[in-house]
Structure 1
Amino acid sequence: MTKQGHVVKKFTGYHAAAIIIAFFAVVVGVNLFMARFALSTFSGTVVDNSYVASQKYNDWLEQARNQKEHGWTVSPALREADKASITITTADGMPLLGAAMEAIAEHPVGRADPFEISFTQTATGEYRSVQPLPEGRWKLKIIISLDDQNMRVVRDIW
């Protein structure tokens, strides 16, 4: 006993071992949680086969140059109620009329399976999705076709 009736406990090897074990248990537990979270939210792949993608690169550049020649401007994708809405204008600023437009909606981190969306043109020249778009962030890979002209664009929508 010490002064004023307090008992002083000795710091033993058991105490040191318990502190060290608890410290490393917390570190390992946090690392396991973070690794599990990282692997469940992103697959880690941008393309399935980078070699094949590199073989197609020049073709993709040529397609991009051809698309610029169309003079079309595609607006950002907007969410109106549960539908996606996009406006496409021609080089002179007029709405692009009569185009066919389809898209693949993908969740940015793969939490949901991709699905197809078709679009119809409204009276104002705007293109609105036929299928509803679930809440959250989506990446729309859009193909626009008019006569023999095609355009591919990617738009994020919240």
Structure 2
Amino acid sequence: MTRRFTGWHMLACMVGFFGVVIAVNVAMATLAARTFGGTVVKNSYVASQQFNTWLAEADAQQKLGWKAEAEAIDGRLVIGAQSATAPLTGARVTAVAMHPLGRAADIPLAFNEAEPGRFVAATRLPAGRWRVRIRIERDGRAADYLRDVAA
């Protein structure tokens, strides 16, 4: 024997469907609000006006031929810097370690050259994932890099 599909059945289907949609939307909005660390840029219009300048700076950095790699060893950030032909010696290296989600304060880092082209931070990073903004300066030229490391 078959049962008839009544208005109550339709109501249950509609309430169930929209209940699931609303629950998923609330869950996603809550997760997004809890994990977003803040603004990317303060004013997107002003940032858009600087875009061509940023492209020119990136092109100039590319022409330098410098490369930088970052890794954390025993909590200390180690930067390996290379010029196009040899280790990048005699450079001034600074960095700022930022938590990817903005939950921890930024940590400024200063480096000492341990060996040619290898720079070791004077302070240790707390355990976790970090996004590191590195600046290398030598002979009046500079290059900026962004690397992700796990301490």
Within-5 A mapping of 1:1-158: 32-43=26-37, 45-75=39-69, 77-92=70-85, 94-158=86-150
- 2:115 alignment partner, SS class: coil
Structure 2 stretches lacking a partner, 5+ long: 1-11
**AA aligned opposite 1:55:** Q
Q: Which runs of no fewer than 5 residues in structure 1 stay unpaired?
A: 1-16
Q: Which runs of 4+ in 1 moved over 6 A?
A: 26-30
Q: Which whole-Å CA distance do the structure 2 matches of 1:27 and 1:58 have between them?
A: 43
- TM-score by length of structure 1 reads 0.75
Work out which of the two has the higher radius of gyration on C-alpha atoms and give 1 or 2.
1
TM-score scaled by structure 2? 0.79
CA change 1:44–1:114 in 2 (3 A) is: closer
Q: Secondary structure at the match of 1:84?
A: strand
Q: Percent identity between the aligned chains?
A: 41
Q: Shift in Å at residue 31 of structure 1?
A: 5.3
Label 1:82 to 1:43 Cα distance change in 2 as closer, same or farther (>3 A): closer
Residue 35 of structure 1, CA deviation: 3.0
CA distance in 2, matches of 1:62, 1:150: 13
